[in-house]
């Protein structure tokens, strides 16, 4: 079997690692991949937004299955383009992916479907947004409606901050066209949760619940990043809560999408906030989460490839094929000094030999590449994800931290507290 994985981050390395585990004989290509995917997949020098070139490649190499990591190509219509050419690809069409591509659309859809989410208003005129913000009062969350690489949501504790955020998006065009329309949301306080569902547009199966750690600093302080770590499972997301999310959030959302001729096939990611135990949607994503995927996939025993193949081939979701192994996983992200601000690249990375030999540690690459001499160097803000496995989150986190300490590169920064909420819960018994 020949598989093409589109993307270059830790999520894509995790997908490739998992697919290779399920199908060791598969020939996997990564477009473009990174310094770590090279061991498992042949690198193809194409970027995720080069949709036509990717389709040409898939066509010429008889690719049996394409899996897309990032949102931008999905929103841009990579699935539509592949399907038009009869190429098998796993993921939602552009119309379905709009659930991530336009927050204004997602909020309107949720309202229509009766899905709980923060109160909001949508604006495309700055004066009106400012009037609303001043009348409403703080705290508020100001969000660019379009894709902004995870940086388009600003939690504002004062009215002035919110007005400034709206101005930066709508007047100063900080996120280009993505900020021409904004959503202003009520602030919700509570613990966050990521629930990823595989779906054929009608039925949906949840993967293991996980939690991301977005802020750069320990104790969730400082600027938001693309994610400094994640863990799974999350004990507060018990079967009862997941059932509520499935019945009251996911299935109604899928039905509303179908009604609008936007049948969603692929991974639907619900970013939730628990307010007094009740789940509210903060955002929907049309793809696997990063870094949640790095913690979630190692907990799955088998069946992912079968589901991808089935859904890419136009079939229904085969729920019976899922198996989860027990235990827990913690992914600690190693970042470059300065991230999420500016940082230097090209730093030599040393991974001790034998670090991954005990089956309880997996090193997944994100911002790495091989220099002309073949040496591994940093090439991004988030450099590596170190996944520790264990009987519980406390044990998995300890293993992940050990691995994170052992890997060296100049300017290495990481949070030592990934999973702290769950570790506190485990300590409390």
Which residues of this protein are in contact with ligand GLY, per CB under 6 A?
150, 212, 227, 285, 289-290, 292
Q: Which is nearer to ligand GLY, 38 or 151 (CB)?
A: 151
Min separation Cβ 144 and ligand AMP, Å: 9
Among 89, 241, 242, 282, binds ligand AMP (CB under 6 A): 282
Cα–Cα distance, 345 to 377 (Å, whole number): 8
Q: Which of 213, 197, 154, 192 shows the shortest CA–CA distance to 280?
A: 192
* Nearer Cβ to ligand GLY (231/409): 231
- Of these, 71, 100, 200, 283, which contacts ligand AMP (CB under 6 A)? 283
Phi, psi at 333, each rounded to 5°: -90, 130
Smallest distance from the beta carbon of 23 to ligand AMP, in angstroms?
A: 33
Q: How far apart are CA 37 and CA 35, in angstroms?
A: 6
- What is the bridge-based pairing of β-strands 211-212 and 229-232? antiparallel
Q: Does 153 bind ligand AMP (CB under 6 A)?
A: yes
Task: Decide whether 71 or 185 has the Cβ nearer to ligand AMP.
Answer: 185
Q: DSSP letter string over 320-342?
A: GG-EE-SSEEEEEEEEETTTTS-
Q: Rounded to the nearest whole angstrom, what is the least distance from the CB of residue 317 to ligand GLY in the complex?
A: 22
| Cβ–Cβ under 8 Å, residues 92 and 261 | no
Part in contact with ligand AMP (CB under 6 A); list of ranges 27-35, 181-189, 262-270, 411-419? 181-189
| Residues 104 and 169: beta-carbon distance below 8 Å | no
In the shown chain, the binding pattern of residues 217 to 256 toward ligand AMP, with x for contact by CB under 6 A and - for none, equals ----------------------------------------
Comparison of 139 and 150: residue with beta carbon closer to ligand GLY:
150
By CB under 6 A, name the one of 77, 116, 252, 271 that touches ligand AMP.
271
Beta strands in 172-320 (DSSP E): 182-186, 191-199, 204-206, 211-212, 215-217, 221-224, 229-232, 266-275, 278-285, 300-302
Contact partner, 382, from ligand AMP, ligand GLY, none, Cβ < 5-8 Å per class? none
The neighbouring-strand residues paired with 43 are: 30
Binder among 89, 115, 129, 141 for ligand AMP (CB under 6 A) = 141
Pattern 11-50, binding to ligand AMP, x per CB under 6 A? ----------------------------------------
Shortest CB 88 distance to ligand GLY, Å: 24
Q: Binding partner of residue 289 among ligand AMP, ligand GLY, none, CB under 5 to 8 Å per kind?
A: ligand GLY
Q: What are phi and psi of 268, to 5 degrees?
A: -105, 120
Please list, residue by residue across 52-80, b when 16 or more beta carbons sit within 10 angstroms of its beta carbon and e when fewer do: eebbebbeeeebbbbbbbbbbbbbbbbbb
CB atoms within 10 A of CB 44: 20
For the chain, give the number of residues.
429
Q: How far is the CB of 69 from ligand GLY (least distance, A)?
A: 10
**Partner from ligand GLY, ligand AMP, none contacting 215, C-beta within 5 to 8 A by type:** none
Which of the listed partners (ligand GLY, ligand AMP, none) does 36 bind, with a CB threshold of 5 to 8 Å by partner kind? none
Closest to ligand GLY by CB, 310 or 340: 340
CB 376 within 8 A of CB 352: no
Nearer to ligand AMP, 283 or 360 (CB): 283
Name the minimum Å distance from CB 350 to ligand GLY.
28
SS3 218: coil
d(CA 306, CA 392): 28
Q: Directed axis angle between helix 251-259 and helix 94-101, to 10°?
A: 130
Q: Of 185-193, 298-306, 393-401, 420-428, which segment contacts ligand AMP by CB under 6 A?
A: 185-193
| Total residues in contact with ligand AMP, by rule CB under 6 A | 13
End-to-end CA distance of the chain: 46
Bond into 340 cis (ω within 30): yes
């Amino acid at each position: 079997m020949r598989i093409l994985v589109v993307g270059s981050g830790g999520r894509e390395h995790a997908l490739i690692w998992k697919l290779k585990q399920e199908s060791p004989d598969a020939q996997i290509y990564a477009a473009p991949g990174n310094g770590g995917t090279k061991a498992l997949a042949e690198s193809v020098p194409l970027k995720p937004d080069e949709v036509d070139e990717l389709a040409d490649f898939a066509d010429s190499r008889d690719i049996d299955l394409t899996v897309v990591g990032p949102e931008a190509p999905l929103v841009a219509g990579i699935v539509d383009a592949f399907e038009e050419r009869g190429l098998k690809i796993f993921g939602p069409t552009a119309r379905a992916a709009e659930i991530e591509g336009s927050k204004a659309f997602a909020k309107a859809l949720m309202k229509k479907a009766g899905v709980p989410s923060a109160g909001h208003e949508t604006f495309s005129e700055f004066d009106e947004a400012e009037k609303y913000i001043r009348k409403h009062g703080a705290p508020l969350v100001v969000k660019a409606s379009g894709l902004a690489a995870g940086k388009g949501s600003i939690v504002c504790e004062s009215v002035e901050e919110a007005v400034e955020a709206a101005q930066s998006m709508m007047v100063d065009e900080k996120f280009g066209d993505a900020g021409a329309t904004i959503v202003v949301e009520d602030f919700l306080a509570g613990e966050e949760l990521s629930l990823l569902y595989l779906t054929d547009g009608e039925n949906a199966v949840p993967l293991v619940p996980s939690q991301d750690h977005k802020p750069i600093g320990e104790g969730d302080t400082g600027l938001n990043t693309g994610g400094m770590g994640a863990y799974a499972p999350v004990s507060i997301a018990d079967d009862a809560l997941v059932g509520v999310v499935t019945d009251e959030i996911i299935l109604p959302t899928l039905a509303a999408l179908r009604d609008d001729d936007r049948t969603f096939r692929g991974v639907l990611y619900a970013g939730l906030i628990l307010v007094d135990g009740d789940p509210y949607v903060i955002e929907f994503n049309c793809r696997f989460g990063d870094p949640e995927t790095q913690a979630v996939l190692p907990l799955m025993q088998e069946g992912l490839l079968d589901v991808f193949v089935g859904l890419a081939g136009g079939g229904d979701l085969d729920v019976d094929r899922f198996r989860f192994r027990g235990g827990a996983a913690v992914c600690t992200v190693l970042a470059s000094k300065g991230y999420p601000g500016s940082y230097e690249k090209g730093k030599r990375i040393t991974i001790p030999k034998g670090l991954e030999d005990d089956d309880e540690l997996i090193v997944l690459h994100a911002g790495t590449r091989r220099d002309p001499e073949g040496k591994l160097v940093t090439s991004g803000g988030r450099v590596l994800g170190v996944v520790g496995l264990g009987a519980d989150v406390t044990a998995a986190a300890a293993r992940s931290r050990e691995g994170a300490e052992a890997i060296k590169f100049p300017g290495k920064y990481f949070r030592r507290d990934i999973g702290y909420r769950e570790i506190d819960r485990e300590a409390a018994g």
